[in-house]
Structure formats: C-alpha cells, structure tokens
C-alpha cells in the first residue's frame, strides 16, 4: 500500500532534484526522506530516481509515475478540504426521533422553520413515545422528556425547568367539580399513560416541603401522549401532562391547570445521542434553535 507521505516526499524530491531540499521543505530529516523513497520504490518494484553523490534525476518510470503521484496528492487534498468544509456546514440528513404529543403539535412546525432557514438540511423523522434504540436503529438524535437511564448517552438540555401539569377541560370540571388537593384526585376519572410495561398511575406533588404521591384510577389508559391529551380535551378526564404538551391549550382555555399551589414532578427535555462525534454543526445549530424556541414558547 502506497503511503500518502511517501508520495509527498517523492514529488518534492522530483521538484527540487534533491533529497535534502525535499526533507527541508517537509520538515523531515534527509534519512527519513531517503527511507520513504526506498519504501515507495519497493512497493512499486521499480527505480524512480537515478542517484549520484551530486545529482538526483528521475528515471523513465519515475517520470511516468510523477503525473499519477501529483494527481493522487491533489485528489486526497481535495477530499481532506471537502471533509473540513462538511464539518462546518449546516447541511446533511438528520434522522430524529421525537415524542408523540410534543412532536406532532410543537416540534414538527419548528423543524419546518429550521429547514426553511437551512435549506441544505433534510430530515428523517420518527414519532414515538418509546425511546429509540440509538445504538441499533438508524437514528442520529432523539428528543425526550426526563433524564435518560443510560448514562452512556450524551444528554444535552433543551428545556431543563419544564414540569408536569394536572389539567382538565372546562366541560369535565363543570360536570365533576374542581379538585382542591391531590387526595381529591381519587374521586376523579384520571387518564393514565403507559410506556412499554410501565403504567404511570401514581402522581406526585409537593407543598411546604411535604411530598404526596396519589395512586389514580380511570377508565382510559393510552400508550400515546397525544391520545391522552385528546381525551382530556374531549372532557373524558384529568391528565398529568408535560407543561409543553398542553401549554397552548392552557393559554387558549381549552384546558385548565389544576392544583396550581402544588409543585409537580420535573419533566426536563433533552437532546440525546450516543456519542459527541455525532454532534455535527447541523445538530448543534438545531439544538440552539430549539432552545431559543422553547424560551420564546415559555414567554408566550
């Protein structure tokens, strides 16, 4: 296998007619330059130079090979420069996994806006509340609520201070009344969310330093966050949702926040990937873009 550095030494020696001059240009010792040329001749099984104590000239094979060596160096340098440009360009295809409710109703329009600003970026989007297997599935990054269980994942915060919200539609509250304390939820139809084999049927609240966990019951369980939100909007019960999932509904009055004097569970939002090498300029720019959008979303 021909070494790139050997080619550079060969071309420099041919241009200068001297091993020592080639060595000086490339910041090498004459011995290293001479060894490289011997190695190249052995690989090619031919003599490239006619050497004497005072001169160095190309053989016929050396003359013919010089053109290919220059071309190979130019091609490899062009490839190196192209890779360097790619590492700083906001371009390429991003495979993104996003959660159901936030993804459909908030993130998808934002990704459209991002793509309008960066037309060389294309997306492959997977929508699911299950965390994609980032090691096996063709997914570059995932956006998920909660601190990941896998400490090997790179987790970059998008919105660290997000929390859950207890909420219901005005129609449901008109029929069943407004709970005044977490214990009152036992008398209400609460909408449960199941993720994998885990049923989230215990809601936790804190007030004045005291934590309270309430086991809830209801006639509807869903494995899709958007489905649970739609049930709440339709007046079927009380939901315990991430604030970002229902923020637009709360502001529009379609849902009402309940138990506002209690501190609910944190639900921070992260951008996840398996290695920092995957944090391309496009991913970094998208993270900055989303962080700014969440700040604007909070501000209303």
How many Å is the Cα radius of gyration of the chain? 32
Range of the domain at 55: 4-83
> Are 138 and 186 found together in one domain?
no
Rounded to two decimals, what is the model's pTM?
0.69
In the prediction, which pLDDT does 1 show? Answer: 80
> Are 281 and 227 found together in one domain?
no
> Are 220 and 196 found together in one domain?
yes
Query: How many angstroms separate the CA atoms of 22 and 103, rounded?
Result: 59
Query: How many angstroms separate the CA atoms of 256 and 250, rounded?
Result: 6
> Are 253 and 176 found together in one domain?
yes
In the prediction, which pLDDT does 143 show? Answer: 93
> Are 274 and 255 found together in one domain?
no
In the prediction, which pLDDT does 298 show? Answer: 92
* C-beta separation of 155 from 231 below 8 A: no
In the prediction, which pLDDT does 274 show? Answer: 83
- Picking from 59, 83, 107, the residue at the C-terminal end of a domain is 83
> Are 255 and 197 found together in one domain?
yes
Q: Which residues contact 186 (CB under 8 A, 6 or more apart)?
A: 214, 215, 216, 217
- Picking from 83, 117, 147, the residue at the C-terminal end of a domain is 83
> Are 37 and 56 found together in one domain?
yes
The number of domains in the chain is 3
Mean pLDDT of successive 10-residue segments in the chain (300 residues)?
A: 88 88 89 89 91 82 90 83 63 89 95 93 90 72 84 88 96 97 97 89 94 96 95 98 96 97 95 84 92 93
What CATH number did the domain enclosing 180 receive?
3.40.190.10
> Are 189 and 57 found together in one domain?
no
> Are 169 and 128 found together in one domain?
no
In the prediction, which pLDDT does 80 show? Answer: 76
> Are 260 and 273 found together in one domain?
no
> Are 258 and 275 found together in one domain?
no
Q: In terms of DSSP H, where are the helices of 89-143?
A: 100-102, 108-117
- Picking from 83, 105, 125, the residue at the C-terminal end of a domain is 83
> Are 232 and 214 found together in one domain?
yes
In the prediction, which pLDDT does 53 show? Answer: 67
What CATH number did the domain enclosing 71 receive?
1.10.10.10
In the prediction, which pLDDT does 86 show? Answer: 57
Burial 153-173 (b: 16+ CB within 10 A, else e): bbbeebbeebebbbbbbeebb
């Amino acid at each position: 296998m021909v070494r790139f550095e050997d080619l550079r030494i060969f071309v420099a020696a041919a241009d200068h007619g001297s091993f020592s001059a080639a060595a000086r240009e490339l910041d090498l010792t004459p011995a290293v330059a001479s060894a490289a040329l011997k190695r190249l001749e052995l690989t090619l099984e031919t003599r490239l130079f006619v050497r004497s104590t005072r001169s160095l000239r190309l053989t016929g094979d050396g003359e013919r090979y010089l053109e290919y060596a220059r071309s190979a160096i130019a091609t490899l340098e062009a490839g190196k420069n192209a890779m360097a440009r790619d590492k700083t360009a906001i371009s390429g295809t991003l495979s993104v996994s996003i959660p159901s409710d936030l993804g459909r109703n908030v993130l998808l329009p934002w990704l459209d806006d991002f793509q309008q600003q960066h037309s060389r970026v294309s997306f492959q989007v997977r929508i699911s509340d299950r965390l994609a297997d980032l090691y096996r599935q063709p997914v570059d990054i995932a956006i998920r609520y909660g601190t990941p269980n896998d400490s090997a994942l790179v987790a970059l915060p998008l919105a660290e201070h997000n929390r859950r919200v207890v909420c219901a539609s005005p129609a449901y509250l008109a029929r069943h009344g407004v709970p005044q304390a977490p214990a009152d939820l036992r008398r209400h139809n609460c909408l449960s969310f199941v993720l994998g084999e885990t049923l989230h049927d215990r809601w936790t609240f804190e007030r004045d330093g005291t934590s309270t966990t309430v086991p809830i019951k209801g006639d509807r369980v869903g494995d899709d966050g958007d489905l649970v939100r739609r049930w709440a909007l339709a007046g079927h019960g009380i939901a315990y949702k991430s604030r970002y999932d229902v923020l637009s509904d709360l502001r529009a009055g379609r849902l009402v926040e309940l138990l506002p004097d209690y501190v609910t569970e944190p639900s921070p939002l992260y951008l996840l990937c398996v290695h920092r090498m995957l944090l391309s300029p496009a991913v970094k720019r998208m993270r900055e873009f989303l962080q700014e959008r969440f700040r604007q979303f909070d501000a209303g």
